[in-house]
Amino acid sequence: MPLLKEKDQQAVRERFAKELKNPVKINFFFSREDTSEETRITGELMDEIGGLSEGKLDVESIEGKDSERARRLRVDKMPALVIYGDGDERDNIRFFGLPAGHEFATLLHTLITVSNDYHVELPDALVEKVRAIDKPVKIQVFVTTSCPHCPPAVVVSHYFAMLNPMITSEMIEANQFDDLSRRYGVQSVPMTVINEGKQTFIGSRKPEELYNAIEKAL
């Protein structure tokens, strides 16, 4: 049984046909010991959307954190999705946990943006500022999949990572990574954590505000 309903398959297929340009790689990292429903579904969902992309999305499932690829792409927890353009092997646009519900929209948008030469929708002045960041930044956006205001928070964070390889952006499904959620006291989503807690904020903020928070964290 496919995960996507017939009608949704059609909508995704059409959107991909219209909006995907360059090939995109989806690396799905999982651990064999992890038998959870969410992890199984993540893998199946990626295969399914790969099949709707006319070969534009290249989905690869990779077992184990200790694999060579996981090390190269700095995958420190699983299940994980690392998304990059064909031939660039960037490691800084990441999803941890099942991107279902509202986060499915985030995933589709991320794939399409990567596919269109990482062309982000941000004001030029801000693009310049984000590109100028010269220290490592890690942005973790905790979400739940039923949260309607979460997608914009993840998308903006991913945009920042697309603009600058010094920035790593992670969507983290708060329930699947409850230890991490507990560490940062996540009780409301979206919650954004910058550089392991140097700065945190709750809610979807304007892109400029994310930039200001990063500046404060550095």
Is 23 an interacting residue with respect to another protein (CB under 8 A)? Answer: no
Rg, the chain, Cα only:
16
Q: Segment 168-207, which members bind another protein (CB under 8 A)?
A: 174-175, 181, 185-189, 191, 202-203
The stretch among 7-15, 25-33, 56-64, 86-94 that binds another protein (CB under 8 A) is: 7-15
Options 147, 162, 210, 217; binder of another protein; rule CB under 8 A: 147
**Residue 190 β-bridge partners:** none
Is 106 an interacting residue with respect to another protein (CB under 8 A)? Answer: yes
Options 151, 158, 169, 214; binder of another protein; rule CB under 8 A: 151
What is the dihedral sign for C-alpha 199, 145, 113, 47? Answer: positive
Amino acid identity at 168: T
Is 61 an interacting residue with respect to another protein (CB under 8 A)? Answer: no
Options 144, 168, 169, 192; binder of another protein; rule CB under 8 A: 144
Residue 26 DSSP SS3:
strand
Between residues 61 and 188, which has the closer beta carbon with respect to another protein? 188
Is 105 an interacting residue with respect to another protein (CB under 8 A)? Answer: yes
Site size with another protein, rule: CB under 8 A: 38
Q: Phi and psi of 53, rounded to 5°? A: -105, 10
8 A C-beta contact, residue 119 and residue 149: no
Q: Report CA dihedral (111, 112, 113, 115) to the nearest 10 degrees.
A: 90
| Tokens 């309607």, residue located | 148
Give the whole-angstrom CA distance, residue 84 versus residue 26.
Answer: 7
Q: Count of alpha carbons within 13 Å of 91, Cβ hemisphere only?
A: 11
Is 133 an interacting residue with respect to another protein (CB under 8 A)? Answer: no
Is 43 an interacting residue with respect to another protein (CB under 8 A)? Answer: no
The stretch among 25-33, 55-63, 85-93, 97-105 that binds another protein (CB under 8 A) is: 97-105
Is 155 an interacting residue with respect to another protein (CB under 8 A)? Answer: yes
Give the whole-angstrom CA distance, residue 172 versus residue 120.
Answer: 21
Q: Which residues bind another protein (CB under 8 A)?
A: 3-4, 8, 11-12, 15, 41, 100-106, 108-109, 121, 144-152, 155, 174-175, 181, 185-189, 191, 202-203
